[in-house]
A and B are shown apart, each in its own frame.
Chain A
Amino acid sequence: MATTAATPTFAPKEAASYGQTGIWSWITTVDHKRIGALYLYTALFFFMFGGLEAGVIRWQLAQPNQHIVSAEFYNQLFTMHGTTMIFLAVMPLSAAFFNFLIPLQIGARDVAFPRLNAFSYWIYVLGGIFMTLPIFFNSAPNGGWFGYAPLTTLPFSSGLNIDFWVMGLQILGISSLAAAFNFITTIINMRAPGMTLMRMPVFTWMSFVVQFLLILAFPVITIALVFLLFDRFFGTNFYEIAAGADPLLWQHLFWVFGHPEVYILILPAFGLVSEILPTFSRKPLFGYNVVIYSGIMIGFLGFGVWAHHMFAVGMGATADTIFALTTMLIGIPTGVKIFNWIATMWGGQIRFATPMKFAIGLISLFTIGGISGVMHSSPPADLQQTDTYFVVAHFHYVLFGGSIMGILGGIYFYFPKITGRYMSEKLGTWHFWSTFVAMNLTFFPMHLSGMLGMPRRIYTYDAGQGWDTFNMISSVGTLLLILSTLIFVINFLKSRKHGEVAPNDAWGAGTLEWSIPSPPPDYNFAEIPVVTSRYPLWDLKHPDRTAGIAHSAPDVMTITDAHAVPVHEETARKTAAELGIPMPFNTVKPAIAALAIVMMFGGLLFTHKGQFALAMTITIGSACLFVGTLYAWLTSPLE
């Protein structure tokens, strides 16, 4: 985006400064900002695609006894809606912000391993295509996003559908893991001088916690999927009940991954609103330390609550009690954050710009989802609610009302930094209110139909069970949501070229990323800043008002001169070469390595067609290609 969106501020020099255009420069880029932009565009595409899948689902359910799609295709739709939204939309949207923001917020010139970063992106996009294409051939995954085995083993799901899911998830897992190692190293090791851990912006902190959840949760699903893959392709017995296998093995392994995954989806959004709220309230975040500790607490406890997804399977009173208690416990740090955000706004000079509207939207809607979540922590209540639309209502309030609201707010907030232009405030306001209304219209009635006993994942239903009106309202709401997303798309595309020009510090925020030009030059910081507090820019611009405020954590380091955080106006027109900053070379090797991995898995598909030799040729050939590319990659210099 840095290339395509001309910035009037530096327009004459801009092309020379960023130097790279054309599709090849995007395929070979290792710049974290461009990779972030690629993540953003790709994930928004998948977000719309998943939304359209939901649209068909709601069309089918709008009235009783409809047959818009076949029952078999309906299974594919709800499976791919969940899988797409979780793995191809919300996680990569968060990844877009990790990529774009983490180096800027900690005062670094790039991530620790720029080429590994490109590799993560290419794996993601190729894996996403791998999983999405089959729906056009009526052979998309159809076992639910949780893919419960033994339902997904060969005797019960003999088509290629589940194979696409197993391998697609395996591929996407590689992407997330590689990215997580990269960001952990970046945050530990690439912080600017003075940027102690307890001065890091909250978004970076929440991302830090998420990276640990990723590296600890994804190996578990990897193993569960390896078992399933082996069962399907090599005839092992992991989920073979006749051989004595335990039907709960998959469920336990899956949810050990699945519950931390929920926090992987929500914590980045929490981080984003923790940046938005202080900016538009003109106040430091209330209880910074407590927000950080709550985030860490959520991360730890997140590994101890998984079996609350399984109360209905009969684990026994002891296990039910323990998991009910840990689940109630994890509500505390989450609630603490809500109160911190409210207290941040309290007494502030609030400005209701679009990002702020979405942030407040998150607080109100996530709280509703959080409360219905705590209701599920009680096993007797959960037994009534499990597998009904009540649960669907709950997790859409936390994922749409939480994650998506936070991410949309984040897009409005950081759009000026990414492109150098504001998004339209007028369209943004329309977008917010239509989304807010449509979201509640869609998901609130599901609480009621769920309470009346409407089960999840049913293809159609008979009239006269009291669900008809609620389903109709939900479907109308979905249509509205699609229209409101259209407003967003128009706003996004129009503002890229024609939006109001934004200055460096578009909103009067306090963190480092706002000290550099918008869009940032490829080297980010002409001079690495020295950080002395949590909101360095506020100290610089309002020294009279920030002196003695709690956010300026006292430290051995003091401001040596007024320009401890240089505002880079004067250097903005210079290129990296002029400034003598070494930049990493563009390279296509990460993309080739990613392609090799996807082909390695894809080759295995031919074994089901009986073409074992062909399958092995493709798989082993791709493996060799991968190893070869890896050697070429590691032996070529970075910069």
Chain B
Amino acid sequence: MNDHAPHADREHEHPTWKQYKWVALWLTLITVSEVWIYYTSFATTSMFVPTLLVLSATKFAIVVLFYMHLKYDHKIFRALFTGPLIIAMCTLLAFFALFSHRAIPQ
């Protein structure tokens, strides 16, 4: 446990405007493509939902890693966020499984 070095890597270089504008562009592009496929015939295929989930998970990750600069920050912050996020995701999935099972007419 060597989270102990006083005044550790507080200031890795935060990303700069150069990077931020690319991040913003990517986020916009992904959002546009999400809305676009919503209106195409792709929306009726079985790949629609997984594609959307992947796209929004990507957006989620980009914001957390760059805008919330988790990529550059102390590992304690990463632990404080990912631990709860994993438990939250597992709970959500478990709920989904438990209740979709109930939807089948008995």
Do any CB atoms of chain A lie under 8 A from CB atoms of chain B in the complex? yes
Residues of chain A at the chain B interface (Cβ within 8 Å)? 184, 188, 193, 196-198, 212, 215-216, 220, 246, 248, 252, 256, 300, 303-304, 307, 315-316, 318-319
Instruction: Tell me, yes or no, whether B35 is within 8 Å of chain A by CB.
Output: no
CB-based nearest A residue for B99: A246
Query: Interface size (B, Cβ < 8 Å)?
Result: 20
Residue of B nearest to A195 (CB): B4
11 contacts between A and B (CB under 8 A): A188-B3, A197-B1, A197-B3, A212-B83, A215-B84, A216-B84, A248-B98, A252-B95, A307-B98, A315-B101, A319-B101
Taking CB atoms, residues of chain B closer than 8 Å to A184 are 80
Q: How far is the CB of B15 from chain A (nearest CB, A)?
A: 25
Query: Across the interface, which residues of B come within 8 angstroms of A198, CB to CB?
Result: 1
Contact present for B87 and A216 (CB under 8 Å):
yes
Give complex CA distance A220, B88 in Å: 10
CB-contact partner of A246 in B1, B94, B102, under 8 A: B102
Task: Tell me if B44 is interfacial: C-beta within 8 Å of chain A.
Answer: no
Q: Which residues of A contact B102 (CB under 8 A)?
A: 246, 248, 315
A340 CB to closest chain B CB (Å) equals 20
- Distance between Cα atoms of A300 and B86 in the complex (Å): 11
Query: B90–A318 contact, CB under 8 A?
Result: no
- Taking CB atoms and an 8 Å cut-off, the chain B residues in 49-106 that contact chain A are 76, 80, 83-84, 87-88, 90-91, 94-95, 97-99, 101-102
Residues of A within 8 A of B98 (CB): 248, 252, 307, 315, 319
Minimum distance in angstroms from A258 CB to a CB of chain B: 13
Q: Are B90 and A304 in contact (CB under 8 A)?
A: yes
Q: How far is the CA of A637 from the CA of B91 in the complex (A)?
A: 41
> With a CB–CB cut-off of 8 A, which chain A residues contact B4?
196
The reply to whether B101 and A196 contact each other, CB–CB distance below 8 Å, is no
Question: Inside 8 A of A212's CB, which chain B residues have their CB?
Answer: 83-84
A303 touches B1 (CB 8 A): no
Apart from A248-B102, A304-B94, list 14 A-B contacts with CB within 8 A.
Answer: A196-B2, A198-B1, A215-B84, A216-B84, A216-B88, A246-B99, A248-B98, A252-B95, A252-B98, A256-B91, A303-B90, A315-B98, A315-B101, A319-B97
- Asked whether, in the complex, the Cβ of A188 is within 8 Å of the Cβ of B101, the reply is no
* CB proximity of B104 to chain A, nearest CB, Å: 9
Contact yes or no, B1 A196, CB < 8 A:
yes
Cα(A168)–Cα(B84), bound, Å: 26
Within 8 A of A (CB), among B1-43: 1-4, 6
B83 and A188 contact, CB distance less than 8 A: no
Bound together, the chains give a CA A78 to CA B102 distance in angstroms of 32
Q: A246-B102, A252-B98, A319-B98 are in contact. Are A303 and B3 (CB under 8 A)?
A: no
| A315 surroundings in chain B (CB, below 8 A) | 98, 101-102
- Say how far A186's CB is from chain B's closest CB, in angstroms: 14
A217's nearest neighbour on chain B, judged by CB, is B87
Inter-chain contact B101/A303, CB cutoff 8 Å = no
